[in-house]
Every structure is written in C-alpha cells, then in structure tokens.
Structure 1
Amino acid sequence: MFTGSLTTREAPGGPASGRAGTTSTMRPLWLLAALLALGQALPFEQKGFWDFALDDGLLMMNDEEASGAESTSGVPDLDALTPTFSSMCPFGCHCHLRVVQCSDLGLKTVPKEVSPDTTLLDLQNNDISELRKDDFKGLQHLYALVLVNNKITKIHEKAFSPLRKLQKLYISKNHLVEIPPNLPSSLVELRIHDNRIRKVPKGVFSGLRNMNCIEMGGNPLENSGFEPGAFDGLKLNYLRISEAKLTGIPKDLPETLNELHLDHNKIQAIELEDLLRYSKLYRLGLGHNQIRMIENGSLSFLPTLRELHLDNNKLSRVPAGLPDLKLLQSSQHFQPLDSRQPLQPHSTQYSPTAPHQASTFNPPPSRGPGLNFLLLMQERSL
C-alpha cells in the first residue's frame, strides 16, 4: 500500500499548524474509510470514492482483469504505479497520491489546476451543468471520472477526447437527454442511470470494444427508444435497464450478456423468441413488472441460467421449462414453494409464510448444470 501526505488547498492566510494537524488526523480516518468501503463492496454497485483511492494501481489492475479488457485500455505499467506528490490541487478539494476529491463543494464548472497524473477525479454532488471542450484537457492518465448528482444537461462532443485511458464513467443522476457522443474507446463501465434519456441511437456505442458494463436504468426509455443496431459491436457482460418504461424485453441486446436486469418496468409477457439469443445468461431480473404469461419453451433457451427473479408480477403458476431447480426463497405476504420438494412445472406445493417473514437473497454456490436460484413471489389476495 502506498503511503504519502495529504494535500488540501486552503484559503490564503490559514495557519500552517492547522494544515499539519489536518494531515495527521485525516490520513488514518481516510484509510479506515477505505477499508470499510472495500469490505462492504458488492458486485456492480455504485462504488464509493475510496474504493478507487486505496492502492489505486492494484485496484486498476484487478478491475482490468475482471472486466476482460485488453491491456492496452489504460492499465499503467509498473513505473506509473509509483506515487506522486503534486502541489497542484484545486481550491477546496482534497488530493492524495493521484486522487482528487472535489465533491459537495457547490461547483458550477469543472475545476482547473487538476494534476495531469490524476487517476481518479471525483466531482459528485455539485452544481455542474455543462462539460466543455477543454474541461479535461491534459488528464490523459484519468482512469475513473465521477460526475454523479450534478445538473449536467450538455456535453461537448470533444469533452472526453483527452481521456484516452478512462475506464469508469459515472454520470448518473443528472439531466442528460441523450447518451454522450464520442465516449473514450478505453471505457469499460458506464453508469448513466437516473437521467432523462429517451433514445438509444444506432452507433452511439460504436468503437467501445472494451465495454462490459452499462447501467442505464431510471431513464424514461420505451421499447421504441432503442434503434435497431443500437448495441452493435458491444460485448457486454452486464446490462441494467430497470425502472424504465419497457413493455417487453428489448430486441437485439448483446448476445454476450451474463446478467440482464429489467426490474420495475411494465413488461406483460415473455414470448418464445424474447430470450432466444441470450444463451449465456446466468442471472435474469424481471421482478416488479406486470408479467402474466411466460410462453412455454421460452426459458429453455437459457441453459446456463442460475438465478431468475420474478417477484411482484401477476403470474398464477410457476413457468414451465425451468431446468433442475435447486433453491426457492420467498418474502412477506407471498406464498412460497417448498424448496425441500422436487419442483415440477405448475406445482401447487404451497405453504403459508409468517405475516412478517422476510427472506434474504443469498444464492448458493453453483452445484453443476441447472437453475440454482429462483426468486418467485406470487402475491396472495389479502
């Protein structure tokens, strides 16, 4: 683990002793926060600031290996992992090693004086409304850019051009009406949920051969908003389009998907051809929809499926075609299947659950071919 001093830009005239005291006090607190954040991190959840800061070089390499991205997409060499101690730090921000944290400052523009060797720039929870052409000029080593919870409505078409090694772009909870153009080809993870995006045009993801994770839920996307070929060329492992306005499973999503989350939409039925191309799925989330019917045979196209979430729908029976179910859990005000008995399609082996019983989702380790986990909660008339 790298060690080094903390740089905090203070107002002119601040006492030197105050800066020294802040440095000695903040260092152990920040490291403790880092350890806590890492210990509680879950896959594909929004990461905290210090998930990137602790030994940033090793974390970058781990992310790269997990993503399957090629080594040319931004992982620094060993020389680049040497910590640097630049005196450049924007006013009011906290700078440590190559991490610049400028969150919660009421900023209206991207700050200047960011060191060129910065790998993480955290600008979340500000009032930034526009990303201009030269806002990130010179930041060729930037690995992660956090712009969550601002007021961004406009992004210049060349705003991200200098970011040749950017792998993580978090720009959720803004006011965007379209996906930013000309995203860096090095990008591995894009989180753009909770904006105002209604359309995903063809070609918007062209050239992003390293991308494997997109989170775009919480946008008013309808099925008609996806142009044919919108996802052409992508080799995604993970896609979430929850809390949108979908009435069916979108067409022509990447065939490489391992996880597809479409919870909290208005999907009414699963038809035979809807899942035909997604043979690599092992986790499918369809909870909190309006599904009344799953056509017989539609699930047989998912030979590697391990987890299927169908909670809070309008199904009257267990869908047919489920391969070798191993576990079933249920929740409050729902009637669970008895997971100790062999499951047959359309089974009626129900037993009432306690009024306030709630289950936790802890899927078991894979025990060979077949579905290991099904979360199917059928609402009981009260």
Structure 2
Amino acid sequence: MVLLLGCTFLCLTASVWCGDTQQVPYGLSDFTGSPPTFDCPKECFCPPSFPTALYCDNKNLDEIPLIPSRIRYLYINNNQIETVSEKAFSEASELKWINLSRNKITNKGIGKNIFKNLKHLLYLYMEENQLEEVPGPLPESLEQLRLAKNKISKIPEGIFDTLENLTLLDLHNNKLDDNSISANTLKGLKNLLQLNMAINTLKKMPPGLPTNTVQLFLDNNSIDAIPEDYFHSVPRISFIRLNGNKLSDKGVPQNIFNISSILDLQLSHNHFTEVPQIHLNLEHLHLHNNQILNVNGTMICPLPIELVHDNDFESGPRLRYLRLDGNEIKPPIPMDLIMCFRHLRAVII
C-alpha cells in the first residue's frame, strides 16, 4: 500500500555526481580557436567545435593511438584495448579526463608511471576492464577514480596516500574482501566525499573512513554488524546505503543511526525485525524487505509525540519518505506514526 501525503514529489539522486559520464563537467571545457586537423589520429574523431577533445570510442581499437599534445579530454572507451603504453601518452601531458572504460586492460598492460606523469589529470574512468588491483601510481591532481566492474581484490599499500584531491572513489562490483582494506588504506583521502564499495564480498564495515565522507555505499555485501562508534569519525556522513546485507537488530547498536547528519538511510533486504532508532533530521528511510512485524510510531519517534505539535512543524522530525513494503506489516498505517512525522509525503507498506 502506498500512502501519498500531500503533493510534493522528491527525487534524491544516489550520487552528488549525476549524468552521463561521457559529458565534460561544467567548468572544464576548453574551447580555444580552430582545431588543427593534421594531428588527429585517423581512427578517431576530432570535433571542430571542441578542439581539446578526442573521440576514439566504439572503434574496435586494440591499441591506443598517439594522443596529440592539445588534447585535454580523451574518450577511448568501448574498444578491445589490452595495454596502456607510455608512447601513446608521451605528448599528452595536459590531459584532464581519460575514459578507458569497457576495454580489456589488465594491470600488467599498464606502463609503470603513465598516470602519475599526467600532472593535470582530474578524472580517470577504467570501469569494466580486467584489473585485479587498483592501478598506480596515480597523480596527486586526481579528483575522481572510477574502477567499477573489474576483478579488483587488492588495494596496494599506500596507493591512496598522496591523493588528497580525490573526492570520489568507485570500486563497486569487484572482488574486495575484508583483507583488501586495512585501517590505513583510505588514510590519505582527506577530501573524499563519496566511497562506493557496493557489490563486493565484505563481511565487515571498511575501517578508517576519511573524515569528510558524505556518501557511503555498501549495498550487496555480506556485512552483519556495525561497530558502536563507527560513524563518530565521519561527522558529515549524510547518505548511507547498506541494502542487501545481513544486518539484524542483534548486530546493530540501537542508536548507531541516530546521528544528526544522516539525511538518507537505506537498509532494505536485511534481517531487521524492528525499525532502528533515527534522528529527527532524517528525511528518507528505506526498510523494505526485512522481517519487521509492526511499526510503533511512539517508539520510533525521535521526540516524545506529546511534544510534536502543529506549531513545531519546522523543528520537529523531518522524515518525508518511509518505505516498509516486503515486511509483515499490515495496514492501516498507525496514527501515531503520522502524528510524529508530520513532514511525511509518502509511506509504502
């Protein structure tokens, strides 16, 4: 049953970075005069209106051509490339953006210091290749590293130590386990905002989260417990996705999610029998497909219900979206739930 309360429709994206990864981020474009045509690799396309971009995607290439020095944005995804040679990048020292996703690149096929020598590189995409460990060394300038859908089971010691500018690390759908991540693995990522380790084989929460982490995505692992003080080191944490794990009331401390910074909490497809305690600032709560039998609005309300009055609308609990379908809960929706969470726009049971 879906109960819509009011007419507001809210859309919360899963990432602070949205849109097609083929698009150059706002502010990075370099439109400078008429492009030279003599240096454009014959296998690729050099758009006249975008002289600093080189499009070599979907060309069935098995090697990277020589990249001209004027190129800042390289799209060479969706090919059959197995190696990344130093020769190909010997003149392209000003690259900012490289998309090498959906190729056949292995760690052995990557030249030793290729990426490190690209001192201006901001975005590196190597999704859907055949990597078995995080490639490196990497340049200190890097801001986004996307390595999803590889075979990565190893993160070399110290590989992130100098990446203070990295804001997004995407390692989802790999083969990471608890031995892949030590307390010092993420230590150097002082400005990391989003960490995605969903769809791996983790049984424990990754240790040593960077202090500035805002978004933590750990869906579809085998995590069954969370240490009591786990989120104390990440005061800005706002979006947590733990769907599809083995969490239960027993393995989760009662107030673990009762944190003022959390706005979106996703705990679907776990083994909860009760709704965990939440903070009044929480706006979205996903608990579908657990083993919850009933919902007691008085018990889960962050404030005593008698203190939640109409004149406290702005200062009361902020929950707007609550999903509880796939449990053992039967309609109707308890009135004390509605009395507590007066900002609710949708309840799904």
Smaller-chain TM-score bracket? 0.7 to 0.9
Matching residue of 2:219? 263
| Aligned positions of 1:1-382 closer than 5 A | 43-45=16-18, 47-49=20-22, 51-52=23-24, 59-60=27-28, 81-87=31-37, 88-96=39-47, 97-112=51-66, 114-154=67-107, 155-234=110-189, 235-293=191-249, 294-300=252-258, 302-326=259-283, 328=285, 344-345=299-300, 372=319, 377=324, 379-380=326-327
The code of the aligned residue for 1:90 comes to: P
Instruction: Return the alpha-carbon distance in structure 2 between the equivalents of residues 210 and 106 of structure 1.
Output: 34
Task: Give 1:185 deviation, angstroms.
Answer: 1.1
RMSD value over aligned CA atoms? 3.1
* 1:46 CA displacement: 6.6
Q: Does structure 2 retain, via aligned residues, the 8 Å contact 1:132–1:156?
A: yes
Deviation of 1:334 (Å)? 9.4
> Residue 84 of structure 1 contacts residue 98 of structure 1 at CA under 8 Å; is this kept in 2?
no
Cα distance in 2 for partners of 1:198, 1:121 equals 27
Deviations 1:175-218 (A, max 9, x none): 01111111111100000111111122331012112111111111
Which position in structure 1 is the counterpart of 2:338?
Answer: none
After TM superposition, the score normalised by the length of structure 2 is 0.76
CA distance in 2, matches of 1:222, 1:41: 23
Contact 2:128/2:150 (CA < 8 Å) preserved in 1? yes
Amino acid at match of 1:379: G
C-alpha separation in 1, matches of 2:317 and 2:180:
34
Distance 1:107 1:211, change over 3 A: same
CA distance in 2 between counterparts of 1:135 and 1:312 reads 46
| Deviation at residue 120 of structure 1 after TM alignment | 0.9
Preserved CA contact (<8 Å) 1:207 1:233: yes
Q: Which amino acid aligns with 2:64?
A: V
Q: Quick one: distance in 2 between partners of 1:373 and 1:99?
A: 43
Change (3 A) 1:344 1:326: farther
AA at the equivalent of 2:261: T
The one-letter code sitting in structure 2 at the alignment partner of 1:176 is: L
Structure 1 residues 322, 336: closer, same or farther in 2, change over 3 A? farther
* AA matched with 2:260: P
For 1:270 and 1:92, locate their aligned partners in 2 and report how far apart those are by CA, in whole Å.
51
The Cα of 1:284 is off from its aligned counterpart by 0.6
- For 1:163 and 1:369, locate their aligned partners in 2 and report how far apart those are by CA, in whole Å: 51
Q: Deviations over 1:213-241 (max 9, x none)?
A: 11111111011211331111212011100
Cα pair distance change 1:81/1:331, threshold 3 Å: same
Partner Cα separation in structure 2 for residue 256 and residue 304 of structure 1? 12
Q: Corresponding residue for 1:75?
A: none
In the aligned structure 2, how far is the partner of 1:105 from the partner of 1:314?
47
Q: What code does the residue aligned with 2:102 have? A: N
Contact 1:330 1:336 in 2 (8 A): no
C-alpha distance in 1, partners of 2:140/2:153?
23
Question: Would you say how many aligned residue pairs link Structure 1 and Structure 2?
Answer: 297
- Which secondary structure state, in structure 2, belongs to the residue aligned with residue 344 of structure 1? helix
Matched AA of 2:256: S
Preserved CA contact (<8 Å) 1:157 1:180: no
SS at match of 1:145: strand
Q: Does structure 1 retain, via aligned residues, the 8 Å contact 2:128–2:148?
A: yes
In the other structure, the counterpart of 2:341 is none
CA shift in 2, pair 1:107/1:248, >3 Å: same
Q: For structure 1, which runs of at least 5 residues remain unmatched after alignment? A: 1-39, 62-79, 348-366
**Does structure 2 conserve the Cα–Cα contact (< 8 Å) formed by 1:305 and 1:371?**
no
CA distance in 2, matches of 1:156, 1:369: 57
How much does 1:332 deviate? 8.8
Determine if contact 2:265/2:286 at 8 Å carries over to the other structure.
no
The separation in 2 between residues aligned to 1:150 and 1:273, in whole angstroms, is 41
Deviant stretches of 4+, over 6 Å = 329-338, 367-370
Deviation at 1:133, TM superposition (A): 2.4
User: Are the counterparts in 1 of residues 269 and 287 from structure 2 also a CA contact under 8 Å?
Assistant: no
Which sits farther off after the overlay, 372-381 or 134-143? 372-381
Is residue 262–residue 281 contact of structure 2 (8 Å, CA) maintained in 1? Answer: no
- Are 1:304 and 1:370, in contact at CA under 8 Å, matched by a contact in 2? no
Q: CA deviation at 1:342?
A: 5.5
| Distance apart, 1:260 and its partner CA | 0.5
Question: What CA distance in whole angstroms lies between the structure 2 residues aligned with 1:230 and 1:335?
Answer: 36
Structure whose residues are more often helix by fraction: 1
SS in 1 for 2:240: strand
- What percent of counterpart residues are identical? 24
